[in-house]
Chains A and B, each alone.
Chain A
Amino acid sequence: MTLPIHLQIVNLLAALLLLISFAMLSQRRIIGLVTLFAWQGLALAVSTALVGWATGQHHLYYSAGITLILKVIVMPWIFYALVKKLDVDRDVEPMINIPTTMLIGIALVIFAFNLALPISQLAGTVTRSTLGIAMACVLLAFLMMITRSKAIPQVIGFLAMENGLFFAATSATYGMPLVVELGVALDVLVGVFVLGIFFFQIRETFDSLDLKHMEKLRER
């Protein structure tokens, strides 16, 4: 451990991202999920800014700014409003019980760490050791999307996956070009709007936000 202090803080934030991913897996309430998602966004923004400062890659400041505005302020606010309007903040049991989900999560983390080890040795960035954590975050978010049957947790899982990908890009190659990042950010924002409208449509049709109802096709 002879890393400079700001990189140690980046490592700490990476660990925090992983911790929040696990907290999301074990969270039963939707409001709790939204809050955790906001915290994850904040950790991501701070770590991106720190990496930008440490390496002199100033375009990372813009990415951090976009992350801060979109994922810490705008999207959680939209979700809070949605949850309030749809009145869906209750304990939701995931399809697989939580201890089992966590065990699968641990297996995924080990898998991701092993997978990332040879790749991170090829990368030349100072933050390469966090690549494993980024991949673990992506896989955990994926797991969350699989184990939840309600619509809003699935969308939050999708956004958390985007967070993980963003972090992977930062740690492996100091982020994507700004144009790509802007595009992705806009996509995600529009996606959230569209899905928000979808939630209302789904509830109108099925009287619930449980996506199990969509597995059966009906002829009228």
Chain B
Amino acid sequence: MTAGILMQLAQTLLAILLAPLLMGWTNQCRAWFQGRSAPPLTQPYRMIRKLFHKDAVIAHDASPLFRFAPYMVFACMALAAGIVPIVANDLPFSPAADAIALVGVFATARVFLALAAMDIGTSFGTLGARREMLVSFLAEPALLMVFFTTSFIAQSTQLPVIVETLAHKQFAIYPSLAFAAVAFWMVSTAENARIPVDNPTTHLELTMIHEAMILEYSARHLALIEWAVALKLFTYSALGIALFIPWGIAPAGNYGALPLAMLALVGKMAAGGLLLAFLEAISAKLRLFRVPEYLSTAFLLAVLGTLTHFLLEV
């Protein structure tokens, strides 16, 4: 039990510490694909460090909610990183929330960020918050349907059971997972504010969604939010790995498999970041009014996954 708790702490810390590295890797790959000279791999760490050393400037009209929100967002992401099986399966903290509650954790973070953006009353903040809510209310059902598809296969909404069923039982090809994986990819681009839904590098007023919400933040608050964004990308990647390519995650209580699990994690994350950067480099950002279409496609694909599960796999 103590070993389990230690392992849990180590895994969560690992996620928090490695998250900016994944962000740096993705940015680097994207720069390569776009033919620019790439920023160093440690750029996100440097930025976070720089921001922590600055003095915070806060608007006169800001309520305590504005100061509180970055901590809340970061805490939610850290909580989510603790729940998802990243290197080891079935850790003591994972029964705290199943896949559905995990969606709720992400939603809590988003609500706080949107409220904080509206709190100071600038038009940009309100605009960003509204757009974020538009995107998220379409993305959430699709994410839930993806979880339902995998839950039907594993007969449980608990993430450790899903990983156990897919990775450590007899190997089987599940066609429904192909649909769910495509849907999950589409949803995670929307949820992580990546191209084609949002451009993480732009500050153009007509197109930004996430950046518009955090415009008023500075110093340590901004650092926490940037870190939470990186952590969210990391957690989503880990979630995708756990649901669709879980081979290599160490089974419950088997600590001998950990080095291999670490290696598998690094390999999959690197490949995932490369793929994300590649897809971002070849696609253009969608017009905001095309986003509902994009996300409804994701939702329908997830529904199709559930349907094919009943047709082909029962």
Contacts and interface: CB of A to CB of B under 8 A. Distances in A.
12 contacts: A3-B172, A8-B172, A8-B173, A14-B175, A15-B176, A15-B178, A15-B308, A15-B312, A22-B300, A99-B292, A99-B293, A113-B311
Contacts of A16: 175, 178
Contacts of B179: 15, 19
B301 interface: yes
B308 A106 contact: no
B173 A19 contact: no
Given A11-B173, A132-B311, A19 B296 contact: no
Contact of A12 (B173, B293, B304): B173
A186 interface: no
Given A1-B172, A99-B293, A133-B308, A12 B178 contact: yes
Interface residues of B, number: 22
Contact of B300 (A3, A97, A102, A132): A102
Interface in A1-56: 1, 3, 5, 8-9, 11-12, 14-16, 18-19, 22, 26
Given A11-B173, A11-B175, A19-B179, A99 B301 contact: no
A116 to B, nearest CB: 8
B307 interface: yes
B207 interface: no
Interface string B198-233: 000000000000000000000000000000000000
Given A12-B175, A106-B303, A129-B311, 15 more contacts: A1-B172, A8-B172, A9-B173, A11-B312, A15-B312, A22-B304, A26-B293, A97-B293, A98-B297, A99-B292, A99-B297, A102-B300, A106-B300, A113-B311, A116-B311
A102 B301 CA distance: 10
A11 B177 CA distance: 12
A14 B57 CA distance: 57
Q: Interface of chain B, helix or strand or loop or mixed?
A: helix
Nearest to B296: A99
Nearest to B290: A98
Nearest to A16: B178
Interface of A: 1, 3, 5, 8-9, 11-12, 14-16, 18-19, 22, 26, 97-99, 102-103, 105-106, 109-110, 113, 116, 129-130, 132-133
Given A1-B313, A98-B293, A15 B175 contact: yes
B296 A102 contact: yes
Contact of A109 (B173, B174, B178, B304): B304
A11 B176 CA distance: 10
Contacts of B300: 22, 102-103, 105-106
Interface in B274-314: 292-293, 296-297, 300-301, 303-304, 307-308, 310-313
